[in-house]
Structure 1
């Protein structure tokens, strides 16, 4: 069985150990020739040993995974990014990674990424555009949660659970289907860039989930649920009604 050389780079020792064990477990064709916590030291080894696969953390002090790649002008390895944050995977598109896995690393996801990398190596050529489209679709499918910075940290909320976003004084109050609310220091405009198509801005300070709307009142309100009323201005009225025509 042919073996493929791999180098692993992650500044966190425990994460690096965990990834190493899992690569050996699910990738029986993979030979890990080196692991590094220091991305600067990794560069020299990558140039010297020309690995077939490069497993690369994105967030690292001193040098990100993307910055490391910029130092490797003639890299031929298949790159698999690992990250705890989906938004960083979007940047991976620009670096034409073969795939990415989210931390904590799932064995099945890791195996799929490795299998894809080996397939690319054995073909001796990759269709860059096809890789980019596939990776983008994967990101879109998985990155469906709204990231809400709060005083306690970050909440990850499935967008279908959000019924209304209310902006005031630079803050945003997020109303959920279970009646709970979250307060974030992010402005309403910041959130609007990440919302799915079924959200509608009905007022300069209000965005509603169309799926949750139950009625429109001529007085200038949309009703969500039984009796939860959100104002809608004349500017947005016709566009709102057109959604239901």
Structure 2
């Protein structure tokens, strides 16, 4: 399944912005950083709780919300569920939590770790100002689903091309390969999706979801392996019939993996 959304670039404008975080010193830091590094931002209010944040959003109708994930009276996601329609962009502010960070990575939604890095904040704000709202809502929907989905293969991965946003279940990805500074994904529908990210960015992200680095230029979904051929230096035949070359190290690791599966 994939959802495609068309959209072009938007002219940068002032972003009415809310800060919602239950730590006063974090709100103070964000105020200072926004004032110093984000000239496109107009701060219109702040709140220290889920309830207060919901009130501020309804009253101020912001373009952008800097939203803490965990607060005393609930989570940022609890706050979002109070709204039938999300008409604003969000940059999540969070402490290091591996599962949450993976969910953000899959969904391509911006987040900033505490303590807040000024450069990362400025970059995230700039992206928010340029992003189409419908595109953001697709990514947010994927994030909310991924946060509720413990099964790794059922997670949804957002892939953004120049003019489209794809929402794909991880199990529907057969393999991805490197093409200079781009990564090309092949799906079960034999669709090729090219994104402007390096393969190494997806290596760590997909490692826990059954993907294997069989070659420096190829990352394969283990569930889609049909067979391994030892001829011609060794290659993997995938479920769609494509042949993926294996490096000597990749071949060794793959054989070890097959032995573990057979022995288990």
With normalisation by structure 2, the TM-score equals 0.48
CA–CA distance in structure 2, aligned partners of residues 51 and 179 of structure 1: 44
Per-residue CA deviations over 1:146-193 (Å, capped at 9, x if unaligned) read: 221212232121111110101011111111111111111111112223
Matched, 1:164 2:164: no
SS of alignment partner, residue 223 of structure 2: helix
Matched, 1:54 2:53: yes
Greater RCO, CA 8 A, separation 6+: 2
**2:210 equivalent in structure 1:** 198
**2:192 equivalent in structure 1:** 181
Q: Larger Rg: 1 or 2? A: 1
Q: Which sections of structure 2, spanning at least 5 residues, go unmatched?
A: 1-14, 18-40, 81-85, 91-102, 116-135, 260-264
Listed as ranges, the matches of 1:204-223 within 5 Å are 204-219=216-231, 220-223=234-237
CA–CA distance in structure 1, aligned partners of residues 157 and 146 of structure 2: 18
Q: Is the 8 A contact 1:163 1:208 kept in 2?
A: yes
Matched, 1:138 2:139: no
Matched, 1:153 2:154: no
Relative to structure 1, the CA distance from residue 54 to residue 202 in structure 2 (aligned partners, 3 Å threshold; closer, same or farther) is: same
Q: Is the 8 A contact 2:190 2:240 kept in 1?
A: no
CA–CA distance in structure 2, aligned partners of residues 137 and 64 of structure 1: 19
Number of residues paired by the alignment? Answer: 164
- Name the Cα RMSD after superposition: 4.3
Q: Is the 8 A contact 1:53 1:78 kept in 2?
A: no
Q: Following TM superposition, by how much is the alpha carbon of 1:225 offset from its aligned partner in structure 2, in angstroms?
A: 2.2
**2:66 equivalent in structure 1:** 65
Q: Following TM superposition, by how much is the alpha carbon of 1:138 offset from its aligned partner in structure 2, in angstroms?
A: 2.8
Q: Which sections of structure 1, spanning at least 5 residues, go unmatched?
A: 1-9, 13-37, 70-74, 96-101, 110-134
CA–CA distance in structure 2, aligned partners of residues 206 and 51 of structure 1: 43
